[in-house]
Amino acid sequence: MAAKSELDPKVIEAAKTLQHTPWCDEYEKMISGMMYDPLHPKLMEGRHRARCLAHKLNHIDPSAQPMEKFHEAQADILKDMVGRFGTGSFVEPPFLPDYGCNVSIGKNCFANFNLTILDVSLVTIGDRVQFGPNVSIYTAGHDTSVLSRIKFVEFGLPVTIEDDAWIGGGTIILPGVTVGKGSSIGAGSVVTKNIPPYSVAVGSPARVIKTLPTVEQERADPNNPYNQMVDRE
C-alpha cells in the first residue's frame, strides 16, 4: 500500500455527488490517495462537523420518544452526516465516522453497534449490506517513512463494499479494498486484499475458503427455502 502520485479524476467526480464535503486542494489530494496535510483548516472543520453530528446521533435518549420517532430522528441525523444515505437503511449507535461526508450508504443496509469508518477517502457501501458489531473500515494510511510522520502527512485509499455483502462482527477492512457482491466475511477477519463476488473469506489476512451461488442461481433453485419468503423490496 502506497500513496498515489497524482489526482484521481474518477474519485473526484464521485465525491462531487456527495454532500457537505470540505472541498479544497488538500481534500482532492486526500480522496485521491495522495499525500496531504490533515491539518488544513477546511479538513479540520469537516472532521469537527462529523464529531458534532456523531455526538448528537450517539446520545439520543430512546426513552424520550416513541420508537418510530426515535428511528426517524436517527435517520435525519445520518442523512445530514454521511454523503449519501439510502432509504430503509439503519445504523445502530454508536457510529463513529471521521468525515462522514465521504461515506455513501445504499438502500436497506444495516450496521450493528460500534461501526467505525475512517473515511479519509471514499467509502462506498452498496444496497442490502449488513455489518456485525465492532466493524472497522479504514481508508487512512501512513507511509513507513519516519520522516513522513515528522512532516505529519498521510494518505488514503477508497474502500468499496458491493451489494448484498455480509461483514461479520469485529472485521477490519483496510485501505484500497473491494469486497465483492454477495460475499460474506467471517467474524474477526482482517481484509487486506480484494474479495471476489460471491465468496466466503475468513482469517487474518482474510482468505477465500468457499465460493457461493449467485443470487440468480439461488432464485432459480426450486429447493431453496428462501424463495418461499417475500422480498423486503
- Catalytic (active-site) positions: 142
| The C-alpha cell that represents 46 in the structure block | 469537516
Neighbours of 55 (CB within 10 A): 10
Neighbours of 97 (CB within 10 A): 26
Chain-centroid distance, C-alpha 35: 21
| The C-alpha cell that represents 77 in the structure block | 441525523
| The C-alpha cell that represents 76 in the structure block | 435525519
CA pair distance 72, 191, nearest whole angstrom: 33
CA pair distance 22, 42, nearest whole angstrom: 6
CA distances from 158 to 57, 88, 101 (A): 25, 24, 13
